[in-house]
Amino acid sequence: MAFTFGYNPWLLLLCVAVAGGLTYWSYRTTVPPLGAGWRGLLGGLRFLALALICFLLFEPVLQQFQSSERPPVLAVLVDDSESMRVVTAGDRSPSAATARDSVRPILETLGDDEVSGSARFFEAGSALRALPDPIADSLQFDDARTDLASALQGVPEELQGTNLQGIVLVSDGQYNTGRNPLRVADRSPVPIHTVTVGDTTRSRDLRLRSVATNDRAYLDSRVPVRATLTATDGRGESVTVTLEQNGQTLDRGTARLPTGTGEASIDLTSEPTEAGLQQLTVRASELPGEVTTRNNAQTVSLRVLESKRQVLLLGAAPSPNVTAVRRVYERDADTEVTARIPQPDGSFIGGPLPDDLSTFDVVVAAGFPSDPVPTDVVERIATLIEDDGTPALFFLDRQTDLTAWRQHFESVLPATPSRATTDFVEVPFTVAQEGRQHPVFRIEDANVALFERLPPLQRSAVDWTPTPDARVLATAPSSSGSDAAPLLVVRSRAGLRTGAFLGTGVWRWALLPSQLEAADPLWPSLASNLLRWVSTEADDSPVRVRPVSSTFDGDEPVSFTGQVYDESRQPIADATVEVTVTDSTGTEYPYTMDPVGQGRYTLDVGTLPEGSYRYDAVARLEGTELGTDQGKFSVAPLRLEYQTPRSDAVLMQQVAARSGGTAYTPQTVQQLPRDLDRRSSFSSEVVQQTSEAELWRTSLFLLAILVLLASEWTLRKYLGLT
């Protein structure tokens, strides 16, 4: 215990001495005279009051020191995932009871009675959770994911303030979520001792390793599905593999497994008959003596569209530019191209223009129209775009009739020419700063900066004026030398999207030399992105509700995001957004989204059983309906824990070695308490605790001063002192 002061204590002694002198001088003589006893009592009361005041003015702090001993803490992490059922099953069926029987002796060995110190038990599966008593009986081994790294990293935070001196990880060593636990072991503040549970040998097993199919398909088309199976302890037998949807078999085949450990593949076929998000399940028959059948099936999602994108491609004349555009779109699996190229006599290569143009989703005018094209044909295309609202892409060509563009397409073009001309100049293609973030320039396999290294294009020597609502995505030097001239312009107006590529010579981009191999993806990606952008309907709906994923894993919470706007496109923050989720049996689950500000809403409905679902959303404000939205999503079964039905002793040994710990087995874990006792680091620590009391803030001293002064004043009145 010690005192500290806010000021020099010698100065305090001086002040106390001065207080004593003033007190002596005050009671040296009194009127009327008093005896020495009374003068001593009154002087003592005053001196004590003045001394306490001086003492408190110097801000005294009382420090108390206390030592305590904290025993070492051992954190025991038990893998509570489903894979523990498989690796501990042996010849029996996987079950939680079998897994509990396997870990119970280990936990008893690590109890407080055996370990010198305190043992704290945690469940380490998809998350770190403290285990209640009785420890073994509280384990269910039902976590569908294993994240060992997060569990190891979370223990020091969970036991912060304790004398944590070691971690014991009881697991099969299999993880399927999160970081590699070896990275956490390298930085662990305490040793990690591992106990590998389960069979480390490769048990007889058949698992469906992967299922590959198209992301999208079309009605009444054949969709290939390739399944790859991995066999352990195979004996050359054949297994039946079926392709199923909603319990119905779509296709069936036989795959012959290799002898020993190896893989086999089989091709199946699906023919979708219904549009929307579909779930396909590939299932392999059971092998005799197989350790588990939970990994014999795998589910994938397939988005089925009603038909391919129908594109009407109209050229100016047979030219390499038209060929370059046509090749890109014909190679797109989602696109069906109908091409018509005019000839000098007014007819078309490929046949006459179809009588019904309403079946087309996009018009691509690759130089169209040119001089040979009859006026009535040009007017039909203009009506299709302007009146019917068909999206359109315009590619400039040397044969393009700019007068016809101005007369028939001015209302839909995102930029209009000042006059007609046949003069062209070579210019580089430069992506505008605004265009770098536009979807048409989201090219994964190449950097958009490579556009500046591509061969130059030819631009007509006229001034192009973009419409006020158009966006200039690429530019070229202007012929007048002033502002940059637009080279790629897009526009979205009243739900109609159009784009204009105002340069010709793209065939050079399709035939790049080997020195520009890195830029090969630029042209086909740009052309495809342009077509995809104009053909995508602009979402002007006032209510937009979407699931964060089209397919959720079996243990993944299903969540939605939403936005609500008024007629002026201003966000509405206080609307009521109700979402009804309907499963395949027609059962409805109503929910209400939570507002998060600025017209945005969220919803988390938790986990749902596997299957296909649809949702309907409606937004209301004070009883008035603002709009609706709907869609589909699916929930796939989660079988991650059954993909590798054996223990990984090598990983467990590496975790222990890298952290400074020791690897054990269920047969050698009895040595762990003795090994901990021999470690000098696993010991109690002495903790010095310091407490401080600011005496100058204590009300008791103020009360004492008041009592002393009041007592002096009362005695003075009693004795008749002036």
Over the stretch 257-304, which tens digit does the pLDDT of each residue have? 888 888 888 899 888 888 777 888 888 888 887 777 777 888 887 777
**Amino acid letter, 63:** Q
pLDDT at residue 487 in the model = 92
pLDDT below 50 — which residues of the chain?
A: none
Stated as kind and residue range, the H or E segment containing 528 is helix 522-535
**Domains of the chain: residue spans and CATH:** 2-66+693-719 (no CATH), 72-89+122-201+646-678 (3.40.50.410), 205-305 (2.60.40.10), 309-535 (3.40.50.880), 543-635 (2.60.40.1930)
CA Rg, the chain, in Å?
A: 41
Q: Phi and psi at residue 307, in whole multiples of 5°?
A: -160, 165
3 state SS of 513: coil
Q: Can you read off the two tokens belonging to residue 537?
A: 């309907």
Which letter does DSSP use for residue 565 in this model?
B
**Predicted TM-score of the model (pTM):** 0.55
End-to-end CA distance of the chain: 44
Q: Can you read off the two tokens belonging to residue 362?
A: 């996009």
Which sign does the torsion angle of CA 143, 144, 149, 154 carry? negative
pLDDT at residue 278 in the model = 80
Say how far apart CA 262 and CA 209 lie, in whole Å.
11
Stated as kind and residue range, the H or E segment containing 424 is strand 424-427
pLDDT at residue 582 in the model = 93
Stated as kind and residue range, the H or E segment containing 710 is helix 699-719
Say how far apart CA 268 and CA 87 lie, in whole Å.
32
pLDDT at residue 344 in the model = 85
Nearest CA to 209 out of 284, 117, 132 is that of 284
3 state SS of 10: helix
Q: Which residues have a Cβ under 8 Å from the Cβ of 566 and sit 6 or more positions away?
A: 542, 572, 626
Burial class (CB in 10 A: 0-12, 13-18, 19+), 275: middle
Say how far apart CA 224 and CA 45 lie, in whole Å.
104
Nearest CA to 124 out of 201, 203, 192 is that of 192
Q: Which residues have a Cβ under 8 Å from the Cβ of 634 and sit 6 or more positions away?
A: 277, 279, 301, 550, 551, 552, 611, 612, 613
pLDDT at residue 200 in the model = 67
Q: Can you read off the two tokens belonging to residue 711?
A: 């007592």
Q: Can you read off the two tokens belonging to residue 504?
A: 């010709």
CA max distance for the chain: 143
pLDDT at residue 2 in the model = 75
- Do residues 301 and 278 touch, judged by C-beta distance below 8 A? yes
Say how far apart CA 13 and CA 51 lie, in whole Å.
9
Omega before residue 134 within 30° of 0, cis = yes
Alpha carbon separation from 700 to 62, 320, 714 (Å, rounded): 15, 100, 21
pLDDT at residue 281 in the model = 86
- Do residues 566 and 626 touch, judged by C-beta distance below 8 A? yes
Partnered with residue 194 across adjacent β-strands are: 169, 663
- Do residues 651 and 173 touch, judged by C-beta distance below 8 A? yes
